[in-house]
A and B are shown apart, each in its own frame.
Chain A
Amino acid sequence: AQRVTQPEKLLSVFKGAPVELKCNYSYSGSPELFWYVQYSRQRLQLLLRHISRESIKGFTADLNKGETSFHLKKPFAQEEDSAMYYCALGSGNTGKLIFGQGTTLQVKP
C-alpha cells in the first residue's frame, strides 16, 4: 500500500538551530516525492520536489530509497520558517498525491 508517514506532529527549535523534518514512504516503484508548506492561514504551496534536486529557502531533501525516506533539512532555522510542512507521494502521472499527516515547525526567537 502507498503510504507517507511523518512521525512528528510538532517540531520546536530555536532560531539558528538545524532542522530536520522526517518523512518515510511506502511505495512499490519509482516514487515522486514532494514537500509542501502551509504558512498560517495560507494555501499550500510547493516547497520542493525530489526530481529537481533544488534548494528552496535554504531547505533541501534527499531521496534515500534504501531507507525509503525523504527528510527535509535546513542548517539554520529562521522564524519565518514556522509553518505546517507536508510530505507527499505522487502516484504515477495521475495527478494524485498521498500526503503525510503533517509536521508543525515552530521556530522560537
Chain B
Amino acid sequence: NAGVTQTPKFQVLKTGQSMTLQCAQDMNHEYMSWYRQDPGMGLRLIHYSVGAGITDQGEVPNGYNVSRSTTEDFPLRLLSAAPSQTSVYFCASITTGRDYEQYFGPGTRLTVT
C-alpha cells in the first residue's frame, strides 16, 4: 500500500495563477482532510470530506476549493494564488471510531511570488 500520496512535492506560482494539489489514498478511508502548516501556527484545517460527494469547510477555507468525486482522490484547488498561500500543504486520510488516526501525506511545499 502506498498510503497517502501527494503531488507535486514542490511548486512555485506567480500571484494570480491557479493550480491543483493532488492527494490520493489507497486505504479506502471515507474521511480525508487538507491542512496547511505555517511556522508558529501549527496545522490549520482548510477543507475536509466525510465521503465521496461530501465536503465541508475547515478553519481557513478562503481561496481554496475542493471536490471529492471518488473515495481515493481529494484534490485541493487554488483559484488565484496569493503570497499568503505560501505554505506547506498536507493531506490526511482518516480512520474513525476507536482506532481513530489521521495518516498524512508527505506534503507539498508551495511558494507564491
Interface residue ranges of A1-28 to B (CB < 8 Å): 4, 6, 9
Stretch of A45-53, A55-63, A66-74, A75-83 contacting B (4+ beta carbons < 8 Å): A45-53
Interface residue ranges of A71-100 to B (CB < 8 Å): 86, 90, 93-100
Asked if A86 meets B102 with Cβ closer than 8 Å, knowing A93-B97, A95-B33, the reply is no
Contacting pair B40 A97 (CB below 8 A):
no
Contacting pair B104 A32 (CB below 8 A):
no
Contacting pair B50 A95 (CB below 8 A):
yes
Contacting pair B106 A95 (CB below 8 A):
no
Secondary structure at the B interface, as helix, strand, loop or mixed, is strand
Contacting pair B42 A101 (CB below 8 A):
yes
Interface centre among A32, A42, A44, A98 (most CB of B within 10 A): A44
Q: How far is the CB of A32 from chain B (nearest CB, A)?
A: 7
Inside 8 A of B97's CB, which chain A residues have their CB? 93
For the complex, what is the distance from the CA of A99 to the CA of B43, rounded to whole Å? 6
Q: Which residue of B has the minimal Cβ distance to A101?
A: B42
For the complex, what is the distance from the CA of A32 to the CA of B99, rounded to whole Å? 11
Inside 8 A of A32's CB, which chain B residues have their CB? 100
For the complex, what is the distance from the CA of A24 to the CA of B67, rounded to whole Å? 34
Q: How far is the CB of B93 from chain A (nearest CB, A)?
A: 9
Contacting pair A97 B106 (CB below 8 A):
no
Contacting pair A99 B42 (CB below 8 A):
yes
For the complex, what is the distance from the CA of A36 to the CA of B97, rounded to whole Å? 18
Contacting pair A90 B100 (CB below 8 A):
yes
For the complex, what is the distance from the CA of A6 to the CA of B43, rounded to whole Å? 13
Interface residue ranges of B95-111 to A (CB < 8 Å): 96-98, 100-102, 104-107
Contacting pair B43 A93 (CB below 8 A):
no
Inside 8 A of A9's CB, which chain B residues have their CB? 40
